[in-house]
Amino acid sequence: MSRRVVIVTEIIAPYRIPVFNALARHRDIDLHVIFLAENDPTQRQWLVYKNEIYFSYDVLPSWRRRIGGQCVLLNWGAEVALRRAAPDFIVCGGYNYIASWQCMSWARRNRVPFALWSESTARDLRSGHAWIETLKMKFLRRCDAFVVPGQSSAQYLRSYGAPEELIFTAPNAVDTRFFARRAEAVRQNAVHYRRTLGLPARFFLFAGRLVLEKGTIDLLRAYASLPAGLRDEVGLVFVGDGPALSELRRRAVGIQPGAICFTGFAHREQLAAYYALADALVFPTHTDPWGLVVNEALACGLPVISSAAAGCTEDLVEDGWNGRVVAAGDIQPLVFAMTELACNPALRSLMAFRGRERIQQFSPEAWAAGMADAALRCTAGAA
C-alpha cells in the first residue's frame, strides 16, 4: 500500500522539480506538494517550469515582503490544503514560516508523522540569534523525524540532540542527466558558444547570487593575486546578479592584466554552457547550507574549488581528488588552488572524471529513495 506523502516547501524552484518528479514515480509513494509561493522575485529570477511538473501540488495564497534583510512570508489556507491532501506523512522544509508551525500543529492534532527537511549546518551564519535558537529548539523537539541532504546537516542535528535513528538522508540533487547532456552538446560546438556568450578562451567560473557572503570579493582578490602571465591566459566569469555587483565591477576595473566578465543572471540551459566551457568552478562561500551549483558543475565535468563552509563540501568535494577545499575567507590557499588547476590540464581532466563519478550518487532517484525510506519507516505502524 502506497503512502500519501505531503511536502511543504517555499517555492517552485526549478532544481526541486526533478527530485519531486522522481519521488512521485516511486512505487510506494503518492506525492503531493504544498508550495508557500510560486517564486521569490526579491531573490532570484528563476523561471517556473510548470510544464515539467508531474506531481500534484497546491500553491497557497501568500503575502511577501523583505523587511530588514529578512523575508516575511505570510500564508493562509495551509490547514485546509492538508485536510484536502489527507497525508500519511508530512515533510516540512523549514521552521521559519508561520505556515510551517501551522502544518506541525495540524499534524500533531491529526496524529500524522511530521518530519523536518533541514539543510542547516554548524557553519550557517544565518543561525545564532537567541530568539531564533529558542524557536528552532521548540520546533525540533516536536518533530517525529528529520531528513537531511548530507553529512554536515546530519552532524548539525545531532548537536541539537536529534536521535541518530530519526535522521534520514536524501542526498541533495539536481537533474544530473540534463546538465551532463547539455554540457556535452555545448562542448561539441565550443567556438560558437564562446563567441555567442562573449567568453574568454579560458576562465574560472563563479555561479550564484552576487552577495558578499558568497565570497565574491575574496575570489576577485585571489584572481588579482594570480601571476600576471596567468591572468593573461585565464579570465574570471561571474554568472549571476545581486547587490555586490556594483562593488565587484568597481574593483575589477583596476585588475590588469586580466579578463573579468559579468554575464548577469542565467537560466539553467544557458548556465550549463558556462559550466561546459570553464576550467573550474570556484565557490568560495562564507556560508551556504549546501550549494547546488557544485552538483551542477560536477555533472558538467568540472573540477571544483570550494570553501569548507559550503554544506555540500563534505559530501561532494574531496581535497586533491576531484577538486580543492579551502578555508572560507583565506585568500592564499585560494590563489594556490586556482594556480594549480590553471597550470595543470591533466589534473583538471582527472578531477573532472572523478567528479562525474561522485555526482552519480547524488541523482534525483537517490534523493527520492532517501525521502521514501523516511516516509515508509515512519509510517510502518500504519501498514
Same domain, 241 and 103: no
Indicate if the pLDDT at residue 383 is higher than 60: no
Note whether 355 and 369 are same-domain residues. no
> DSSP per residue over 263-314, as a string?
EE---HHHHHHHHHH-SEEEE--S-BS--HHHHHHHHTT--EEEETTBTTHH
Sign of CA dihedral 132, 137, 140, 146: positive
Q: Which domain holds residue 84?
A: 3-173+363-382
Same domain (yes/no): 236, 261: yes
Q: Is the pLDDT of residue 348 over 90?
A: yes
Q: Are residues 90 and 216 in the same domain?
A: no
Cβ atoms within 10 Å of 138's Cβ, excluding its own: 11
Q: Residue 368 is inside which H or E element, if any?
A: helix 364-378
Binned at pLDDT 50, 70 and 90, residue 124 comes out as confident
Do 45 and 118 reside in the same domain of the chain?
yes
Q: Please state whether the peptide bond connecting residue 257 to the residue before it is cis, i.e. omega within 30 degrees of 0.
A: yes
At 46, which amino acid appears? W
Average pLDDT, the chain: 94
Determine the distance from the C-alpha atom of residue 78 to the mean position of all C-alpha atoms in its chain, rounded to a whole number.
26
Q: What is residue 336's three-state secondary structure?
A: helix
Q: How confident is the model at residue 71 (pLDDT cuts 50, 70, 90)?
A: confident
Grid coordinates 585565464 are at which residue? 234
pLDDT of 66 above 90: no
C-alpha–C-alpha distance, residues 38 and 47, integer Å: 10
Q: Are residues 262 and 159 in the same domain?
A: no
283-326, pLDDT tens digit by residue? 999 999 999 999 999 999 999 999 999 999 999 999 999 999 99
249 DSSP 8-state letter: H
Residue 95 DSSP symbol: S
Q: What is the pTM of this model?
A: 0.95
Mean pLDDT, range 68-93, rounded to an integer = 92
Domain shared by 19 and 48, yes or no: yes
Distance CA 37, CA 320 (A): 41
Distant-in-sequence, close-in-space partners of 226: CB < 8 Å, separation ≥ 6? 234, 335, 338, 339, 342
Q: Is 334 helix (H, G, I), strand (E, B) or coil?
A: helix
Helix, strand, coil share (%) of the chain residues, nearest 5? 45, 20, 35
Average pLDDT over residues 186-195: 97
310 and 204 in one domain? yes
Find the CATH number of the domain harbouring 286. Answer: 3.40.50.2000
pLDDT average, residue stretch 182-206: 97
Residue 290 near residue 169, CB atoms below 8 Å: no
The answer to whether residues 293 and 375 belong to one domain is no
- Cα separation, 180 vs 272, in Å, equals 8
Residues in contact with 382: Cβ distance below 8 Å, sequence separation at least 6, in sequence order: 88
How many domains does the chain contain in total? 2
Evaluate whether 78 touches 109 at the Cβ level (below 8 Å): no
- C-alpha–C-alpha distance, residues 77 and 124, integer Å: 31
CA atoms of 295 and 237, how far apart (whole Å): 19
- The answer to whether residues 80 and 144 belong to one domain is yes
Percent of the chain with pLDDT over 70: 97
DSSP 16-59: THHHHHHHHH-TTEEEEEEES-S--TTT------GGG--SEEEE
Whether residue 377 sits in one domain with residue 310: no
pLDDT band at 46 (very low <50, low <70, confident <90, very high): confident
Cell of 306: 570550494
- Check whether 109 has a pLDDT greater than 90: yes
**Banded model confidence at residue 65, pLDDT cuts 50, 70, 90:** confident
Q: According to the model, what pLDDT value does residue 125 have?
A: 63
C-alpha 122: how far from chain center = 16
Per-residue cell: 377: 519507516
Residues 259, 350 share a domain:
yes
According to the model, what pLDDT value does residue 69 have? Answer: 64
Buried b (16+ CB within 10 A) or exposed e, 69-106: eeeebebebbeebbeebebbbbbbbbbbbebbbbbbeb
CA distance 323 to 354: 9
Residue 15 has pLDDT above 60, yes or no: yes
